[in-house]
Copies of this chain bind each other. A is one copy, B any other.
Amino acid sequence: MKCENNVSGYLIRRLIDYGVGHVFGVPGDYILDFYRQLEESPLQLINTSDEQGAGFAADAYARLNGLGVVCVTYCVGGLKIANTTAQAFAEKSPVVVISGAPGLNERRRNPLLHHKIRDFDTQLRIFRQLTVAATDLSETDNGCQEIDRVLAAAVRYKRPVYIELPRDLNASACGPLQTSLPDPPESDGEALGEALDEARRMLGEARQPVAIAGIELQRFGLEKQFLELVEGSGIPFAATALSKGGLSEDHPLYLGVYEGAVGDDSIRRYVEESDCLLLLGAFMTDVNLGIFTADLNRALSISASSEGSAIAFHQYPEVFLADLLHGLLTADLPRRPPASLPGRPASASFIPGDDPVSIKRLFQCLDSFIDSQTTVLADPGEAMFSAADLTICHPAAFLCPAYYTSMGFAVPGAIGAQLARPDLRPLVVTGDGAFQMTGMELATAARFGLTPIVIVLNNRGYGTERPMTDGAFNDIPGWRYSRLPEVFGSGRGYEIRTEKELDRALQEARHNDRELALIEVHLDQDDHSPAFERLTEALGKRVRQSNNTER
């Protein structure tokens, strides 16, 4: 590959090499020249209403496509996506943040150029906190090598990276260039051998082993190997809240989502009674594991991730997930007889009545509605907790920031999801509070011909907070959500109170596959799903405990 005319041309070329097809962002004068280059390239530009929407869309795109890109102007653009980049960092989503910046010849004698905060590198210093690799291309003679270093880090760690592009970037800056994509790092051979011996022994002797399928299986494309392993050995497996949907939830060895006291009690008991836990690519986080109510025995666990492994209380920093998984696959583990697994509730077919919609019934209805052409996106809040009860039967079918839990992800996320996977129609489930943060990005979806079905759970406020501490601050203004398609001049709006209305709206939305649908569902303010009630009880207990410690 030869260096494209200039550094920014080379950046575009490498993004395409990595399989990127779309770039999300909002233009601004420090990045305008690069936008023109993007428009003339094979990449499609998707400009959102606000940078926040672009950040979330790029995150969802990265989760499904393997790399996502958000491209903004200096400071007034870049700092608006500090939060979405933090989410990508926390949940391991490989997002490339590209920011324009003042040209080098504009910076002489430190003038107060517009958008500048404290120093010219203030934004760079902030993004160093939020990324695994960051570069200011004004500080190097080797812009193209820097681009390769930073993109490789995004793919290696599945975390965001940052590239700052001064607008007068010098064309002559290219050094010797990569001609291929970098290889993943390899485990230390001897350490891997020892870890495999131990793991094989523990799994062989275990009476009730359980595998936990973590989010990294999806991020690194290891789902198939994981299924081979559990199918070959007959080990049952659970997902976490964050990894839900990465593996088919109708698999005969699938237990369900393990999330401590928040999840189903029979799954919890089966997992916690296991005498050998195989945690593969899982985050051990609080919401993910039911706010500290998880009770897993480290002495009995084998844990592997892209950042290193551990067995019981000792660590193997140089043994990585992919190699351990591959090693176990070829280790000839004994095949166990079918275990007697806790029964999962069957997906009941939904027969709508004339009753007002309850959260429980809403999600039963959605469970019977989703099919192999659906991607579900759930926002933190009741939508996320209830969505845990949906049965997701194909990969790439569930996106939810279950660890970082930033509200407002789902609507802009649906833009990224449908562009990454045009064969799947997004079903967004969001609370009214989360929708008010970013829901107007539906106009962006409509502009680019996307067709999400959006369910707004209207319980008139921050329903997840009321049981913890209530006050007027949990109320929000009552938008008439179903009128928004009239504002967009596109899409269909529905205002729903009963089950029959809900059913009809969903059927109509399914048939009308050329337009987005916005389905506002009125819910009782005191109505909660069983999963959520378990969670708030656990959370409330935690807040009370910490208050007691204080006084």
Contacts and interface: CB of A to CB of B under 8 A. Distances in A.
Interface of A: 6, 27-29, 32-33, 35-36, 38-39, 45, 47, 49-50, 52, 75-76, 79-80, 82-83, 86-87, 89-90, 103, 105-106, 111-118, 122, 125-126, 129-130, 167-171, 283-288, 292, 403-408, 436-438, 440, 443-444, 446-447, 462, 465, 468-469, 471-481, 483-484, 486-489, 539, 542-543, 546-547, 549-551
A116 to B, nearest CB: 7
Contact of A469 (B36, B89, B468): B36
A484 B52 CA distance: 21
A350 B551 CA distance: 65
Given A39-B471, A50-B436, A436-B443, A171 B551 contact: yes
B284 A168 contact: no
A28 B89 CA distance: 21
Given A111-B286, A118-B130, A447-B477, 20 more contacts: A32-B468, A47-B473, A47-B475, A49-B476, A50-B437, A76-B83, A80-B83, A89-B118, A90-B117, A105-B546, A112-B285, A113-B286, A114-B403, A126-B130, A171-B551, A436-B443, A440-B440, A479-B489, A481-B487, A484-B487
B126 A82 contact: yes
B112 A403 contact: yes
Nearest to A23: B473
A90 to B, nearest CB: 5
9 contacts: A39-B471, A47-B475, A49-B437, A112-B283, A112-B403, A114-B285, A114-B287, A444-B477, A480-B488
Contacts of A486: 480, 483, 486
Contacts of A171: 550-551
A47 B284 contact: no
A438 B440 CA distance: 10
Identical chains bound together, number: 2
B436 A440 contact: yes
Contacts of A407: 76
Given A36-B469, A36-B471, A443 B76 contact: no
Which of A27, A35, A547 has the largest count of B CB atoms less than 10 A from its CB? A27
A50 B438 contact: yes
A446 B79 CA distance: 28
Given A86-B75, A480-B489, A486-B483, A404 B115 contact: yes
A194 to B, nearest CB: 26
Given A82-B83, A489-B480, A436 B49 contact: yes
